[in-house]
Structure 1
Amino acid sequence: MALTLATAVELLDKHHLLREIIQGKTWSRNPARFAGAEDAFNSITYDTRQVREGSLLCCKGHFKADYLSGCDEHGLKAYVAETDFSEKTEAIGIIVDDIRKAMSLLSAEFYGRPQDELTVIGITGTKGKTTTAYFVQSILNAASDGRAALFSSVDNCLDGHTYTASALTTPESMDAFRMMREALDNGMRYLVMEVSSQAYKVERVYGLTFDVGAFLNISPDHISPIEHPTFEDYLYCKRQITTNSKTLVLGADCDHADLIEEDAAAAGVPVTTFALHTSGATNSGTKADTVAWPADKDRTAFHIEVAGTTGTYKLRMDGDFNYANAAAALTIAQLAGIDLNNKKISHALENVRISGRMEQFKDSHGPNVAIVDYAHNFASVSALIDFAIERYGANKPRITLVSGSAGGKAVDRRKEIIDAAQHRVDRIIITSDDPDRERAEDICETMQAAVNDPNVQSTVIIDRQKAVETAITEAQAHDGFDVLLIVGKGEEQWIKVDGKHAPYEGDTHIVTRLFGQTHS
């Protein structure tokens, strides 16, 4: 059904968002009082530069009346806003209580509700969202001949095989529904998407119900004046996926799992749990519906039992936490209707690679190892160090962490990254990591001030390329075995400074160049 003024008003009224419609001196709740109420909008946008004949404009965020200058001449038909802008435009104003909720509903309707024709999977958690999403997409692609789309913090994929860098973990609602429509037009049957806490905080997924939702884990993150004021608020936003899913996959060892299960029970949402055990499926680990456990003493392969069937998997991406992600992914796929006995699925899962995530490199000039990863908070840095100690600890390595912290968000991470590392590594090189509109020097100084272990060496090197090069040259000059953990940027070849992407060689590219070898 085409989106018209009449259908838009009816939809907003149904969701108790409509206040009134304004055009000049006419104020009403009845769209029939306005010319062209039954004419379809030709486009929908939140960018005034994209307004054309017959456009519907959503005035979100810090929208200023002056932005409407010239919009009438370009054919603006109507705008949706929380404020009356009739002094600046002759277009019809649809005034609402919440512009972000309204924008999500109207965008879905404009693009023909593509979510109704896709099996939509949403994945949230503090860590593991991206890896799990890639695992799920790979499984679905194997089972459907490449008909699974992906929205992730690293890439978006709308045709099952072409990946383009993404700007947000979860796209703005209007962009998300536009991309869903494109994916559907490309023949996609599935969509796998990461769902951030901010997606619920600012209503990017308002009105969207997931066929399968997943809540992997939770730990403090994104707590700052411009994101979540408290951990309770962060968790509350994450929890919204529960009541907005038809069925939920939940990490059995997740903190506050009992509260999430209470949410699900109150909403009538069935829950399937997964867990990682240290030995067999029936050992003393947390009881769960899906269980992963090591298949060999070196933990290079794992058994995963889903719905009573056990498979053995060896992932390209190492680490126990990735086998937990694989257990979640297989559970999600099974709930999405996939037959896990398909041999293509095992092969697909085992060959997933995410650029810049748990990429291991061996130095062709000596014994040293570097691991490049997107770890960027307490939980993910802790998990990475756990892996390094577990895998290489017997060789008594010197461990160096190269890390910064992004500007403009999650201020708590700056100290927490240091807290995760300083008593467990030998050296920390603090450097730039997307400072955006903050001074990289200020962020690094905050991190340096958090170092209080006299046994750990710490250095600030603002230039990230120089920081990574320094870590490598020091390791190569050291008479011993070094493990370098280079985190935060992965394969990204830019650093965000003052709202723009400044060119950067990329962590993986620097390691490859100086090690003289590709990733293992």
Structure 2
Amino acid sequence: MPTTTSPLSLVSAAKLLDNHHLLREIVAGDRWTMDAASLPGADAPIPAVTYDTRQVAPGSMLFVKGRFKPEFLDGIDGRGLGSYVAQTPYADRTKAPGLIVEDVRKAMSLLSAEFYGRPQDSLTLVGITGTKGKTTTDYFTHAILNAYSHGRAAMMSSLACCLDGRTWTPSKLTTPESLDAFRMMREAVDAGMKYMVMEVSSQAYKVNRVYGLTFDVGAFLNISPDHISPIEHPTFEDYLYCKRRIIGNSRTLVLGADCDHADLLREDARRAGTPVTTFALHDAADGHTTPADVTVSIDPSCRTGIRVTCGDRTVTLALDMLGEFNFLNAGTAMTLAMRTGVPFDDPAMRAVEHVQVPGRMERFTEGDDLHVYVDYAHNYISTKSVVDEVLRVYGERDPRITLVAGSTGGKAIDRREGIVKGALGRASSFILTTDDPNFEDPRAIAEEMASHVTDPKAETKVVVDRERAIATAIDEARADVAATGRLNIVLVIGKGHETRNIINGEAVAWPGDANVVRRVLEDRRN
């Protein structure tokens, strides 16, 4: 259990919540009051904060949030609960005083920041949102800032977190719960970090995980329909609105000039007084000529070469990562780093050349005619971008493309059509399979996806077992190479680096798409 770094007490907590118009009253037994100072021990420092009743220790402040059941509090006084913060009183379950608030998640964010000594004030914070590219841009930006600061940049992402500039641990959420985020920032500051780069999901604003947090530099990469479901965002308008909130909570904004609804986003920035720096892919040959402060163009002399231009300065780079979208992400990261104070032509900018992100366009080959890519693409825009890139690089060879994909159960229902649509008319084969079906039938999800394959020339199969689906795709691609000599590309998308499938509410171990591809290719060679 972490110890306090700030003298947060019941009195100071109540005052902070009251200042933010969140405090309704304080309930202690049968007494209701607004005067925390009148309660015994109210000036004593709170030694620990948690939102998990199993972690309650003597003196702890407990945040009651989410799908909380009152019986979780049974016996809690015997473990020394000091106080709780909730939207309803639990005086029938505990003698501990309760701070009753309008919104417990907002309260948790504000109080966690204070408990951990406002670590955000000691960091240059970079927050990145968008439908596609958050993780890769996060990795690129962290690499630049870590190089510039000689290892003093921290990072939170949907894949992994790095709090000391060198050690990586797996993540649970794209944006952590506020209490965890501030604890991690505290660890980063204590480890000597000067920067923190983090992904900011729409859900982070929807459920107030970043409430009260101001980013020194915010990024809005792009927007397209995603996460639309009864348990996420009911409409695209709600999804976009939640993402837009980063603009008013950033001191400066980096914006994709080609982003849909860019005029609205610029209007948000003007209303908030937030300066805007734009970036764009600028390739006249492909019709991309949007004016922007920083432009990225493809260097035709190198398959992964780009030129990034800011004013009269141009930096030429060769990335380790394939993909036009990754080229743009690298330029975005350079723009973000520049907004934090890194000179545009500083050698640290070249750190993007050696970044590789697990599960992002990982390539496996068998000879020159069979290539397998593993990617996290999981919606229309990301699937389309992956196929676009394959055709950009290999189009002259007229490749036969196989897409192996599934979609999640119980949420983001629109992805089922979007994933198919992203490859439709260009993929020769769709093999539809399992990907986090949760409480839904994975076969039913796959068959629903199959119903959206309207190309009469495309082959479609439902193979529920994901490992067998990948093996089937590779076997069929190998057979086509042998029969026709045509280049075959298999795109295994959706899970990226993930090593679990969510089935019936439980995380079931999955070896990982990349490991399955390696094993299948090796088995077929032997």
**TM-score class, shorter:** over 0.9
2:490 is the counterpart of 1:487: no
Which of 289, 313, 323 is the equivalent residue of 2:317? 313
Give 3-state SS (helix, strand or coil) of 1:72's partner. Answer: helix
Which of 332, 337, 345 is the equivalent residue of 1:333? 337
- Cα deviation for residue 501 of structure 1 reads 2.5
Which of 417, 422, 425 is the equivalent residue of 1:423? 425
Which of 29, 32, 57 is the equivalent residue of 1:27? 32
Counterpart residue type for residue 80 of structure 2: G
| Alpha-carbon distance in 1 for matches of 2:469, 2:357 | 23
Counterpart residue type for residue 307 of structure 2: H
Q: In the alignment, what sits opposite 1:438? A: 440
Contact 1:465 1:504 in 2 (8 A): no
Sort the Cα spacing of 1:170 and 1:354 in 2 relative to 1 into closer, same or farther, 3 A.
same
Q: Which moved more, 1:299-308 or 1:183-192?
A: 299-308
Contact 1:280 1:294 in 2 (8 A): no
- Cα deviation for residue 104 of structure 1 reads 0.6
1:424-459: CA deviation from partner (whole Å, max 9, x where unpaired): 210000011111232212221221222222221111
2:393 is the counterpart of 1:387: no
Q: In the alignment, what sits opposite 1:58? A: 63
Give 3-state SS (helix, strand or coil) of 1:73's partner. Answer: helix
Give 3-state SS (helix, strand or coil) of 2:78's partner. Answer: coil
| Alpha-carbon distance in 2 for matches of 1:308, 1:332 | 18
Q: In the alignment, what sits opposite 1:80? A: 85
Unaligned runs of at least 5 residues, structure 1: none
- Cα deviation for residue 309 of structure 1 reads 2.1
| Alpha-carbon distance in 2 for matches of 1:264, 1:386 | 32
Q: In the alignment, what sits opposite 1:124? A: 129
Q: In the alignment, what sits opposite 2:354? A: 351
| Alpha-carbon distance in 2 for matches of 1:512, 1:319 | 21
Contact 1:299 1:320 in 2 (8 A): no
- Cα deviation for residue 234 of structure 1 reads 0.6
Sort the Cα spacing of 1:307 and 1:21 in 2 relative to 1 into closer, same or farther, 3 A.
farther
**Superposition CA RMSD, Å:** 1.6
Contact 1:6 1:32 in 2 (8 A): yes
Counterpart residue type for residue 312 of structure 1: T
| Alpha-carbon distance in 2 for matches of 1:192, 1:72 | 39
Contact 1:422 1:428 in 2 (8 A): no
- Cα deviation for residue 279 of structure 1 reads 4.1
Q: In the alignment, what sits opposite 1:249? A: 254
1:62-461 alignment to 2 at 5 Å?
62-279=67-284, 285-296=289-300, 299-306=303-310, 308-346=312-350, 348-364=351-367, 367-461=369-463
Q: In the alignment, what sits opposite 2:514? A: 508
1:488-507: CA deviation from partner (whole Å, max 9, x where unpaired): 11232222223333222221
Contact 2:372 2:491 in 1 (8 A): yes
Quick one: percent identity of the two aligned structures?
54
Contact 2:304 2:320 in 1 (8 A): no
Counterpart residue type for residue 504 of structure 1: W
| Alpha-carbon distance in 1 for matches of 2:288, 2:194 | 39
- Cα deviation for residue 318 of structure 1 reads 1.0
| Alpha-carbon distance in 2 for matches of 1:171, 1:308 | 40
Give the 4+ runs in structure 1 shifted more than 4 A.
none
2:505 is the counterpart of 1:499: yes
| Alpha-carbon distance in 2 for matches of 1:48, 1:504 | 30
| Alpha-carbon distance in 2 for matches of 1:484, 1:79 | 53
Give 3-state SS (helix, strand or coil) of 2:82's partner. Answer: strand
TM-score (norm 1): 0.96
Give 3-state SS (helix, strand or coil) of 2:267's partner. Answer: helix
| Alpha-carbon distance in 2 for matches of 1:208, 1:251 | 22
Q: Which moved more, 1:321-330 or 1:335-344?
A: 335-344
| Alpha-carbon distance in 2 for matches of 1:312, 1:298 | 11
Unaligned runs of at least 5 residues, structure 2: 1-5
Contact 2:145 2:348 in 1 (8 A): no
Counterpart residue type for residue 104 of structure 1: S
Counterpart residue type for residue 131 of structure 2: T
Which of 463, 466, 485 is the equivalent residue of 1:464? 466
Q: Which moved more, 1:490-499 or 1:105-114?
A: 490-499
Give 3-state SS (helix, strand or coil) of 1:513's partner. Answer: helix
Aligned length: 514
